[in-house]
């Protein structure tokens, strides 16, 4: 059981906020791509949108760590 | 460009993971018996080799290219962002610095309380600890190499990087723990976080139908982007640190 817990920590990390943030970022990017179609603006600019979403996920997890320390 | 970055990313990420495994193997070997420590480590290496043989070909042959890129990107983002998160917190002095030597000393101290069986009898406690340590760190190595190597043309630099890291870590192990204490691990892990996160966004976006301006050179401006974002976060967190300390 402890081995499984450690494996989960190794793959998903120490927090839930970061894997959830990554899932939300990729999910949102997938939805925008599906709405925009194959030849729209997403084709050229989508990477930067994904970078922004991932940066937000990282910032969110850092804010969580900061809040946890302040408690 | 992609070849060099894949090689550097695989080498640093695998090297740092292997270093952590080495710390555990050395601690078990010095505190208990090297023979049992190496048997445990060899068992884990066999399990990891089996995992690598199954995981790589199954992923590459069974999963279509676009979903595979998203899956690889997601894995690299999970690893990379976690390393980057810890790196930012460490560089903002909100988390203790990464130190394999310290982990080695702590592991050694915790093992000293366990009785060693008489000579001639197998030390299952020592073997299990070495096995578990190498297996856990090795799973991450296998996933990183598989993810970096799954891209067309990515397997060679990923394997070369991983092999260079393995040789370097064995050399460190041979000359024991003096170099372990001198490595700037916090900064190295921060760099690995940037490199893996860069590849993660690059692959995932390609899987989602993006064509990157300047093709593979996009890796450079993505890495620069992650560097700038994380430096900004370090500055903000460093400024917030006294307020957090006062509230705690």
- In the Cβ-directed half-sphere of B65, how many Cα atoms lie within 13 Å? 4
Flag whether pLDDT at A70 surpasses 70: no
Q: Do B89 and A22 touch (CB under 8 A)?
A: no
| CB < 8 Å to A20, chain B | none
Measured between CA atoms, the residue of chain A closest to residue B237 is: A66
Q: What residues contact residue B201 under an 8 Å CB cut-off, 6+ apart?
A: A47, A50, A51, A54, B73, B77, B222
B45 Cα to chain A: minimum distance (Å):
16
Q: Give which of B209, B213, B228, B232 to mutate to test A binding, by max A Cβ within 10 Å.
A: B209
Separation CA B173–CA B160 (nearest Å): 20
A16 Cα to chain B: minimum distance (Å):
11
pLDDT computed for residue B91 by the predictor? 92
| CB < 8 Å to A63, chain B | none
pLDDT computed for residue B243 by the predictor? 66
B200 Cα to chain A: minimum distance (Å):
10
- Banded pLDDT at B241 (limits 50, 70, 90): confident
Flag whether pLDDT at A55 surpasses 90: yes
Burial classification of residue A1, based on how many CB atoms lie within 10 Å of its CB (0-12 exposed, 13-18 middle, 19 or more buried): exposed
* Of the listed ranges B27-41, B52-66, B230-244, the one predicted with least confidence: B52-66
Q: Is B183 helix (H, G, I), strand (E, B) or coil?
A: coil
Condensed to tens digits (0 to 9), the pLDDT of residues B92-116 reads 988 887 666 676 777 777 777 777 7
pLDDT computed for residue B185 by the predictor? 75
pLDDT computed for residue B137 by the predictor? 83
Place of tokens 């695998």: B14
pLDDT computed for residue B248 by the predictor? 53
Q: Do B89 and A14 touch (CB under 8 A)?
A: no
pLDDT computed for residue B236 by the predictor? 92
- Who has greater pLDDT, A24 or B185? A24
Q: Give which of A47, A49, A61 to mutate to test B binding, by max B Cβ within 10 Å.
A: A47
Q: Do A69 and B229 touch (CB under 8 A)?
A: no
Quick one: what percent of chain B has pLDDT higher than 90?
24
Q: Do A57 and B225 touch (CB under 8 A)?
A: no
The pLDDT of B161-187, averaged and rounded, is 75
**Is the torsion defined by CA of B118, B123, B124, B126 positive or negative?**
positive
What DSSP string runs through A10-53? HHH-S-SHHHHHHHHHHHHHHHHHHHH-SSSTHHHHHHHHHHHH
Burial classification of residue B195, based on how many CB atoms lie within 10 Å of its CB (0-12 exposed, 13-18 middle, 19 or more buried): buried
Flag whether pLDDT at B84 surpasses 90: yes
Does any CB of chain A come closer than 8 Å to the CB of residue B241?
no
Q: Do A18 and B143 touch (CB under 8 A)?
A: no
Residue B208: name the closest of B65, B76, B78, B80 by CA.
Answer: B65
Note the ipTM here: 0.91
Condensed to tens digits (0 to 9), the pLDDT of residues A30-46 reads 999 999 877 789 998 99
């Amino acid at each position: 059981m402890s081995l499984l817990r450690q494996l989960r920590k190794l793959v998903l990390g120490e927090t839930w906020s970061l894997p959830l943030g990554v899932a939300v970022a990729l999910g949102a990017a997938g939805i925008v791509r599906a709405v925009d179609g194959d030849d729209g603006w997403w084709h050229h600019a989508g990477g930067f949108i994904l970078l922004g979403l991932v940066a937000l996920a990282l910032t969110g997890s850092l804010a969580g760590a900061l809040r946890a320390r302040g408690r | 460009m992609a070849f060099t970055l894949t090689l550097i990313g695989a080498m640093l990420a695998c090297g740092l993971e292997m270093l952590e495994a080495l710390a555990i193997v050395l601690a078990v070997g010095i505190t208990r018996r090297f023979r049992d420590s190496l048997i445990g480590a060899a068992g884990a290496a066999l399990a990891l080799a089996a995992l690598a043989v199954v995981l790589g070909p199954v992923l590459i042959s069974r999963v279509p290219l676009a979903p595979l890129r998203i899956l690889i990107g997601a894995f690299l983002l999970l690893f990379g962002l976690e390393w980057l998160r810890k790196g930012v917190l460490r560089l903002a002095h909100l988390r203790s610095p990464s130190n394999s030597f310290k982990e080695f000393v702590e592991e050694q101290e915790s093992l000293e309380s366990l009785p060693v069986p008489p000579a001639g009898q197998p030390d299952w406690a020592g073997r299990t600890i070495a096995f578990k340590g190498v297996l856990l760190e090795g799973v991450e190595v296998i996933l990183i190499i598989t993810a970096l190597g799954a891209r067309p043309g990515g397997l060679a630099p990923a394997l070369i990087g991983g092999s260079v890291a393995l040789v370097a870590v064995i050399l460190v192990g041979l000359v024991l723990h003096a170099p372990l204490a001198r490595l700037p691990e916090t900064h190295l892990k921060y760099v690995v976080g940037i490199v893996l996160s860069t590849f993660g966004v690059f692959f995932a976006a390609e899987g989602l139908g993006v064509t990157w301006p300047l093709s593979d050179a996009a890796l450079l401006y993505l890495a620069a982007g992650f560097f700038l974002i994380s430096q900004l976060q370090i500055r903000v967190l460093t400024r917030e640190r006294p307020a957090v300390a006062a509230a705690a």
